[in-house]
Amino acid sequence: MNETYERSLEEHGLIDVQPHYRKLLLRLKAQDAARYDAAVARYRADVEEKAQGSPEPLAVWLAYGAWLAGQIEPGILMSISETGLAAPAADPPPMGPMLIHLPEARNRRGFVVAMPSSPSAAQRETAALLCE
């Protein structure tokens, strides 16, 4: 983790997304080796290359995380406010609010893409109810 990335996490009040994305990659690897290989290639091209020189490496990481979650389950990226209100997230994903990926299939649980370092009670409850 470089200093610019750490500063961006602090500035936007988010926890480090990298460990969570590694878990998503491992899940994708178990699910589909070809899509896993594509995800690793995209990481190398998009994250390793772009995040290093970017003034906002967190934006690069969030875009990758949103894409990665969609590779596991097709769905929609949602932004969750401190009060628990959900709205479709912009593209590129915003930095700061809680972001979750909700699968199209109603019988599937979603994935946290970005979690505030101090989530509100409503955000914690949303994650507990809707996400793995």
- Place 84 in a pLDDT band, splitting at 50, 70 and 90: very high
Q: What is the pLDDT of residues 119-132, one digit of tens each?
A: 999 999 999 999 98
Mean pLDDT across the chain:
93
Q: What are the two backbone dihedrals, phi and then psi, of residue 16, each rounded to the nearest 5 degrees?
A: -60, 125
Is the pLDDT at 1 greater than 70? The verdict is no
Percentage of the residues of the chain whose pLDDT score is greater than 70: 99
pTM of the model: 0.92
Q: 83 near 36, Cβ under 8 Å? A: no
pLDDT (mean) for 73-97? 94
- Place 19 in a pLDDT band, splitting at 50, 70 and 90: very high
Specify the higher pLDDT residue, 51 or 62.
62
Domain segments of the chain as ranges:
3-130
Q: 125 near 94, Cβ under 8 Å? A: no
What's the chain's length in residues? Answer: 132
The secondary element (H helix, E strand) that includes residue 42 is helix 33-42
The confidence score (pLDDT) of residue 85 equals 95
